[in-house]
Chain A
Amino acid sequence: MRKATTDTLPAEGGLGNEPLLAVEDLHVEFHTRPGIVRAVNGVSYSLNPGETLAVLGESGSGKSVTAQAIMGILDMPPARVPKGEIRFRGTDLLKLSDEARTQVRGQRIAMIFQDALSALNPVFTVGWQISEMFRVHRGMNKRDSVKKAIELMDRVRIPAARQRVNDYPHQFSGGMRQRIMIAMSIALDPEVLIADEPTTALDVTVQAQIMELLAELQRESNMGMILITHDLGVVADVADKIAVMYGGRIVENAPVHDIYASPAHPYTKGLLESIPRVDLKGQDLYAIKGLPPNLLDMPTGCAFHPRCPYRQDNCVTDTPPLYEISGTRGSACHYWREVLDGDQG
Chain B
Amino acid sequence: MDDAVIAVALVLVAACATVAVATRDPARQALVLSVLGVVLAVLFTVLQAPDVGLSQLAVGSALTPLLLLLTVRKVRRRGQREESGR
Asked if A and B are interacting partners, one says no
Chain A residues with a Cβ under 8 A of chain B? none
